Structure 1
Amino acid sequence: MVRFPMLTRYIICSFALLSITLGCKVDTGGEGDYAFVGGEIINPKNKNVILYNTEGKVIDSLTLDLNNRFVYKIKNLEPGLYSFTHGGEYQLILLEPKDSVMFRLNTYDFDESLVFTGVGARKNNYLIETYLANEREESKLMKYAKMEPEAFNEFIEERRLRELTKFHNFLSDKPESELFKSIIEANINYYSYARKEIYPFAYFGNNKLIHIKDLPEDFYDYRSTVDYNAAHLAHLYSYNRFLFFYIDNLAAHAYYENNPFHSKFDRHRMDYNKSKLDLIDSIISDETIKNSLLKYKTRDYVSHNHTEADADEMLNYFLSKSTSEEDKASMKELVSSLKLLRQGNTIPDLAIINYDNSEQNLNSIIERPSIIYFWSSNSKLQYRNSHYKVKSLKYEFPNVDFVSINLNSNDDKSWKSIINNYDFPKDKEYKFKYPKKARKVLAVNYLNKAIIVNEYGMILHPNVNIFKSDFTEMLGDLLQKKHLIAKQ
């Protein structure tokens, strides 16, 4: 994990990078405000770094040099949160006028190894540190969610105030800009607010969610201070996460206004999910934030095993509210792909490559009931956990095959290195020949998706999560009834 003292580890080489790359970049006139951003990538996945502006639009695709470095001058700079991607990984950079921010990272531990130097480095190192601190805390969420509401509320508030105090002490050493201050305070606050919005779903569960109305009166007092259209936070994870669960929470209240109080909460009901889109449309006016929320809420719904009629109904509801032509096109494409993945259909016949570099077809390797699951070389925690989970599932379901497919493009070296380092069974490890096409055809929008098929390659379930608590029970039921499932 990154800690500020670790800066000394990279300080010499990073400042060398800074001086080398900026040595010939002396033309700074005539373009208004500007900033330099550059970096060095250890063990690069490819030769490209894609840089995005504050609106999430591509500025440029930058090519690494022979030393795996790059530098870029942003002219007419709009101060705010920029971002970059490399090899499927994503991270933010805060840029303000006259900044010269250089970073260094190792793709084997992308976020944890990321360190900044140069003008503007101090604020970016603090930003990545708060991100990593929140990520570490996230693993403890279920434990904290077992606390009684009053105790949980007090615990979250104490942590929030402690982090704010730590940040203000940081500022006392050297003042920073109001923009930086607002972003870090928002990151701290919205992380805490998101956990409060998630809490009732974790604490009460589906059977007792009606008790959401019994939470302490001051539990959601912070909502009156929230800016629901904070454009400068549109790409901040903690802010978006808060909005996601805030909408779910409001929709849950509306759910029980229209359903009996004793009824079990069903997060896949059409009226519940339509009400989310209605709430987004009424509360959010910023188009970037609104369209993002509409897209992901709709995607969550249509990606589950609904009927074609339900998927089409939700799609049309989304199309009536979104103003993004790009999102509309991608959602139509997703719904079309999902129609090919309905229960009873045959799994699409896609080209895959095995560990020995032999090309096969996905259908041809299905010999028994199988779970097809996915992973990325860029997500260490996910690929470790998914393989360990599958190892335990094999003991419970000895008559089921578990087919592991890597989603990365042109990443043979890293793919095989991970398989060897963790001793994953090579006979069931594959990668797609055309990963971009395959991800679209199989509608793989998130890594934890898995597909269950029978021994003939017929789909029993197009979208499951092997980490869910009820997965083994659901799989057992499906396998017992698989002979009754016919093409719909």
Structure 2
Amino acid sequence: MKQFPLLFLLTLCFFSCKHDENNLSGNGFLGGEIINPNTRYVTISKDNTILDTVMLDQNNRFLYKITPVNPGLYTFAHGGEIQMVFLEPNDSIMFRLNTIDFDESLVYTGIGAKENNYLINMFVESERINHNILKLSQSSPEVFEKKLDSIKAEQTRKLNEFNIRYKTSPLFQKFAQANIDYNYYAQKEIYPFTYYGNNELKNLESLPKDFYNYRKQINYNDITLKDYFPYYTFLKYHFNNMALQKHFKHSQDSIFNRRSLDYNLDKLQLIDSLVQNDSIKNYFLNYSAIRYIGNSNKLEDYDTYLDTFLKLSTSSENNNSISSMVESLKRLKPGSTVPNTLVTNNEDEELHLHDFITRPTVIYFWSSSLKDHFVGSHKKVQELKLKYPEIDFIAMNIDKNEEQWIDYLQEYKYPIQNEYHFKNPEVSRQILALNSIYRVVLVNKDKKIISSNSNLFSKYFEEELLGMLNQ
């Protein structure tokens, strides 16, 4: 009997929600069953705005009514994983997935399921193809382009057959074709750096003259696709590549450093010149600023970069965030005292960071939403502990959940010694300018910062550790 309300609603919505081409303000239903759930809820969003947080029932199921449906892409998030679902008015979509194999296990049923199964299968196939293309990138430009063209042609053929068979809407056709096109474009933007292996002017100049002809038809202001993964992923690579070409034209460099101030200023100006839509422009300006500021150790360049960013960005929220990040990083310069932020241990005792820094210390960060980094960083630290017993390695969980982090450690059988959790994650992340979870902070026994922007996986990291010990 406890299952009755949900089953009743499912039956009701599937029989009552029929497609009506003239009804563009109809309702929709999104529901599902999650096997091996990581949390007790699912978050549903549209256009980067959270619509609701929906609790799972005792059978790990949920059902959510969207009134009215704004046609396009919605996202559902669970346990740090995110996936998109395509919804049109009067769709009633249910999915089933297993968190152990999130994307590959995802299957849709109901009205609108065919389109979504097509998109998720295309997403999984694209990931597989992209992996294989990395190997293909060692081929000459002519061989690479020929193979890439054949992949695109085959995907387009399958899509055309699907659209004819199921009489899909123009909006679905746009998303599906964009998946094919922008994955293709992204691979061509990435190619010269995987094939040649470095960022030299002569490598770009040696490409076939028509290699980037598709750039003439790029819409930099496609508001329909602005939150679509293939579209914005392509634009990230594209702006990097275009800024490099622009940088080479006016600089004396033939080889450049991605952390170069001039190159990153060129990228801001390029984005501003190509994108008119404020939402898209502000997203890429903000993304570029976070990448540059978070990876640069040259504090003396921050103000110059920030001045340009603030002149181009029209988002007060982004402007305040980037300005705060710059000020926080300035306070974290080498020689300053590490902020004494509030944390909790596995027994829920409140401590300050300074309470347990008594030796040279490495502070690294993790989140349950980034499983690969969580596992990789802990594995790396286990190796480093054996090589550098005179250094303390402190792991800091940044998640909002105050209990789940301990369960996560125990699930992977990691020791809880030197594991802590931010008491106020948002405040602590701002104080430490923690824009990237990959950042590592090195502190000496006197709690003075040696580096606030190291990386566990850098080939130079152990040199930094030796330098810290020799101070």
Q: Is the 8 A contact 1:35 1:77 kept in 2?
A: yes
* Distance in 2 separating the partners of 1:214 and 1:234: 32
State the partner residue of 1:188.
180
Aligned to 1:167: 159
- Structure 1 residues 23 and 151, CA, compared in 2 at 3 Å: closer, same or farther? closer
Q: How does 1:36-47 map to 2 (within 5 A)?
A: 36-42=29-35, 44-47=37-40
Separation (CA, whole Å) in 2 of partners of 1:57 and 1:298: 22
Query: Could you tell me which amino acid in structure 2 is paired with residue 385 of structure 1?
Result: G
Q: Distance in 2 between matches of 1:133 and 1:390?
A: 34
Match of residue 442 from structure 1: 432
Which residue of structure 2 lines up, in the alignment, with residue 453 of structure 1? 443
Q: Cα distance 1:24–1:277, how it changes in 2: closer, same or farther (>3 A)?
A: same
Aligned to 2:284: 293
TM superposition shift of 1:17: 7.8
Structure 2 match to 1:345: 336
Structure 1 residue 48: Cα displacement: 4.5
Alignment length, in residue pairs?
466
Looking at structure 2, the residues matched to 350 and 143 of structure 1 have their Cα atoms a distance apart, in angstroms, of 45
- More off after superposition, 421-430 vs 91-100: 421-430
**1:409-428 equivalent positions in 2, closer than 5 A:** 409-410=400-401, 412-413=403-404, 415-428=405-418
For residues 51 and 396 of structure 1, the distance between their equivalents in structure 2, rounded to whole angstroms, comes to 45
CA contact (8 A) 2:396 2:420 kept: yes
Listed one character per residue, the Cα deviations across residues 147-174 of structure 1 (whole Å, up to 9, x for unaligned) are 3333332333333233333333444542
Moved more, 316-325 or 301-310: 301-310
> What corresponds to 1:480 in structure 2?
467
SS, match of residue 460 in structure 2: helix
Contact 2:336 2:449 (8 Å CA) reproduced: yes
Asked if 2 retains the 8 angstrom alpha-carbon contact of 1:85 and 1:91, the reply is yes
Q: Secondary structure at the match of 1:472?
A: coil
The 3 A distance-change label for structure 1 pair 85 and 312 is farther
Q: Distance in 2 between matches of 1:101 and 1:248?
A: 38
In the alignment, is residue 273 of structure 1 matched against residue 264 of structure 2?
yes
Q: 1:292 Cα deviation (Å)?
A: 0.6
Q: C-alpha deviations, 1:398-418, integer Å up to 9, x for none?
A: 5443322222222634x3444
- Please say if residues 200 and 209 of structure 1, whose CA atoms lie closer than 8 Å, have aligned partners that are also in contact: no
Contact 1:31–1:75 (Cα < 8 Å) also in 2:
no
1:22–1:174 Cα change, 3 Å: closer
Is residue 324 from structure 1 mapped to residue 315 from structure 2 by the alignment? yes
User: Is 1:350–1:438's contact at 8 Å kept on the other side of the alignment?
Assistant: yes
| Alignment of 1:155 onto 2:160 | no
Give, in whole Å, the separation in 1 of the partners of 2:389 and 2:459.
Answer: 13
Superposed CA RMSD in Å reads 3.3
Could you say if the C-alpha distance between residues 452 and 192 of structure 1 is closer, same or farther in structure 2, counting changes exceeding 3 Å? Answer: farther
The reply to whether residue 237 of structure 1 matches residue 224 of structure 2 is no
Name the CA distance, whole Å, in 1 between partners of 2:455 and 2:155.
Answer: 34
Spell out, residue by residue over 1:194-236, the C-alpha distance to the aligned partner (whole angstroms, 9 max, x if none): 1221222333344635421211222212212322222111111
Determine if the alignment matches structure 1 residue 99 to structure 2 residue 86.
no
- Give the SS at the match of 1:446: coil
Partner in structure 1 of residue 74 of structure 2? 82
Unpaired segments ≥5 residues, structure 1: 1-11
Per the TM alignment, residue 124 of structure 1 is displaced from its structure 2 partner at its CA by 1.5
1:432 paired with 2:455, answer no
Amino acid at match of 2:44: L
Tell me by how many angstroms 1:396 deviates. 5.1
Following superposition, the deviation at residue 134 of structure 1 comes to 3.0
Partner letter of residue 279 of structure 1?
Answer: L
| Corresponding position of 1:388 | 379
Give the letter aligned to residue 417 of structure 2.
D
Measured in 1, the distance between the counterparts of 2:48 and 2:274 equals 22
Unmatched tracts of structure 2, length 5 or more: none
CA contact (8 A) 1:112 1:132 kept: yes
Distance 1:291 1:41, change over 3 A: same
Larger deviation, residues 398-407 vs 283-292 = 398-407
Structure 1 residues 91 and 260, CA gap change in structure 2 (3 angstroms) = same
Q: Which moved more, 1:434-443 or 1:475-484?
A: 475-484
SS at match of 1:426: coil
Summarize the Cα distance change of 1:108–1:369 in structure 2 as closer, same or farther, 3 Å threshold. farther
Identity of aligned residues (%): 38
